[in-house]
Structure 1
């Protein structure tokens, strides 16, 4: 038939719509019931736009020659008029219809009977038509037949809406994953590339700090060393975050350690020197061997203690406790001060999250996230509690 266009529209949207109809499992049964109830030989679900008429699903018992994806010239169809009016068109016999007797559609396609009902999505978007045709007359104006078409068209519209919303959600999730992956790859590369210039800064700072004959320059060198150390910690946090998110989690190297307490105490002493005006009440009672990644547990202690010193009340001591209890390392760090609101407690371990009260120029908001990943990698748990009376306490429990 010369008016049938066999080429499938190359547009992604049209292909998606055809696929969406194909995924509605009830459509073939609907088309079969339509043909059985009306006695008509051709039924279809068509996608009708202001420019195209495309078959999405077809039941062809009369050799009309149209298959899913096939197209008709839009203005040769009555669906064009149904779309414009947003009304069903029902014709038992074209030869007896005063309105459509001389219409070009039955002449072009050799039709006697015709029914087409709009498929409209719940949000009001016009999708297309559920239609049936035949070369013989048919009693399609029967209210029961019309009602059947309307019910089927509504069901198809609701299914298409559900499919569309699901596709939109999946597409958005895919874009977000792709964006997150690119961002984390960028962070990893950036962190790696920053190490070389930072090493040069650190070396320069070390040389300046040794200029004891020139106190001003030596003091400048010490300040630069502290800044470089802080930058190095930030880069380490970024690299740990990127590795954890892009891989299977934070990697640890487990070894048998006999002096875990000594190593943790060294971290506390280092931070006490960095915060000479603060009081740290430290009690570490650990004995016996422990299988762990000592560098990561030192990082855990460093992050938790630095966080407490930064956000805790400057007039109250920070309390550090480390003991072995039932085969578990129980490490806690507590500070006094403004408590964390209950609704924000679940967020403290999220990457990049910082409280609104944080001073500008602080960390990246990765420290507590990395702490949690270190504890998880050791098979343990990290919890936080916060109140006005007891302050804020982070407690890690790690099997040894």
Structure 2
């Protein structure tokens, strides 16, 4: 039995997607510690851990199962979520928060596809957190389901039945996750957006109008975060970012539309846009617009509000060049080296609201087009530049 439990832990430790899942959990909720745990009647073992608060429990470490709320999750196979132990009428006097000095807690059961209970996907923090809203609960349940599917696939691959699990099954699993992610996260956002639209057509007070505008802005930002997580899932779990190149329409109007949208959302900021794109460049307009919007949004967030953002798009020496430059503090060298990695964000400013996927997704879109995204930053300016072959023939030659 002990060998079986240790084997389960080792299989779960080998799943490469889990660190990213734990990172998303902590980034999206503000929680400092997250883990995937193997939970049995008499043991609690951490399989993989993200510890940003010095809780001190490493992967492979154990807790007395009776001291954890995961013990109750195993018994009842249901989520336990607590925004603030001190204010929770049922758990305020429970021994777990006092023992581990907790204020917020969420634990979701990990159930394997065949119905077996594996353990929990859990997060804790020493300060209160907003965890009980439907969006957060849906996200945690989705991630717990993904972990269960991943473990099941890994377990089968390590057993005598591995020959029965081919690329087709793995591909179906990846596509299932991406489809569930899109459905379960997008539908609540769409419903809330529709509800706000209905309310905004009714007579409103000045205060309610302001609140509805804030809610709409938050939903737009949430939608963007979902798009980034979807693209991250496709890039890491699927076959990368797919493109639908347009060989007929010029790129200029697409870029103009992005600039117009950013200007309307930030009327206080100055954006100088200069483009000379008379020739058609075979690109996926929607993806280039997404990349461009991420770069402009980054410039809005980190650039100096006292200086304009300068955008230039042109074709030179057979390449499309698209650059976004802003004044402001230079990016430290150590940050430059990790800038296009997922979940890497600045240490200050409103960027803390995001998941740190914007520049990563932008770099993946650039690579999908056979191009590259570069950054130069000094005391004068920070400039992101996208370069790619401008013609279909050059793109084919670069691909070879």
Q: TM-score, normalised by structure 2?
A: 0.54
Say if 2:394 is the partner of 1:394: no
SS of the residue corresponding to residue 292 of structure 1 reads coil
CA separation in 2, counterparts of 1:357 and 1:192?
Answer: 33
Consecutive unaligned residues of structure 2, counting only runs of 5 or more, are 5-9, 23-142, 148-176, 391-400
1:384–1:393 Cα contact (<8 Å) kept: yes
SS of the residue corresponding to residue 256 of structure 1 reads coil
| Residue equivalent to 1:287 | 278
Post-superposition CA distance 1:6-55 (Å, at most 9, x none): xxxx9979xxxxxxxxxxxxxxxxxxxxxxxxxxxxxxxxxxxxxxxxxx
Q: 1:212 to 1:287 in 2, by over 3 A?
A: farther
| Residue equivalent to 1:313 | 304
Superposed, 1:161-310 pairs within 5 Å as 175-177=14-16, 179-180=18-19, 185=146, 188=178, 189-190=180-181, 192-211=183-202, 214-310=205-301
Q: How far is 1:179 from its partner?
A: 3.1
Moved more, 246-255 or 184-193: 184-193
Q: How far is 1:221 from its partner?
A: 2.8
Q: How far is 1:263 from its partner?
A: 0.9
2:310–2:324 Cα contact (<8 Å) kept: yes
| Residue equivalent to 1:344 | 335
CA separation in 2, counterparts of 1:231 and 1:289?
Answer: 33
Q: 1:179 to 1:290 in 2, by over 3 A?
A: same
Give the alignment's Cα RMSD to 1 decimal.
2.8
Q: Which has the larger radius of gyration?
A: 1
2:304–2:326 Cα contact (<8 Å) kept: yes
2:330–2:378 Cα contact (<8 Å) kept: yes
Q: How far is 1:329 from its partner?
A: 1.3
Q: TM-score, normalised by structure 1?
A: 0.54
Superposed, 1:359-370 pairs within 5 Å as 359=350, 361-370=352-361
Q: 1:392 to 1:173 in 2, by over 3 A?
A: farther
CA separation in 2, counterparts of 1:191 and 1:222?
Answer: 25
Q: 1:323 to 1:178 in 2, by over 3 A?
A: closer
CA separation in 2, counterparts of 1:229 and 1:237?
Answer: 13
Q: How far is 1:224 from its partner?
A: 2.1
CA separation in 1, counterparts of 2:293 and 2:344?
Answer: 19
| TM superposition outliers: structure 1 runs of 4+ over 6 Å | 10-13, 171-174, 181-184
SS of the residue corresponding to residue 374 of structure 2 reads strand
Match of 1:384 among 367, 372, 375: 375
CA separation in 2, counterparts of 1:360 and 1:399?
Answer: 32
CA separation in 1, counterparts of 2:257 and 2:189?
Answer: 25
Q: How far is 1:209 from its partner?
A: 2.2
2:251–2:285 Cα contact (<8 Å) kept: yes
Match of 2:348 among 357, 363, 375: 357
Post-superposition CA distance 1:206-250 (Å, at most 9, x none): 122223565544443333222211111110011011111112221
Q: How far is 1:295 from its partner?
A: 0.2
| Residue equivalent to 2:157 | none
Post-superposition CA distance 1:128-170 (Å, at most 9, x none): xxxxxxxxxxxxxxxxxxxxxxxxxxxxxxxxxxxxxxxxxxx
Q: How far is 1:255 from its partner?
A: 1.9
Count of aligned positions: 234
Consecutive unaligned residues of structure 1, counting only runs of 5 or more, are 1-9, 14-170
2:272–2:311 Cα contact (<8 Å) kept: yes
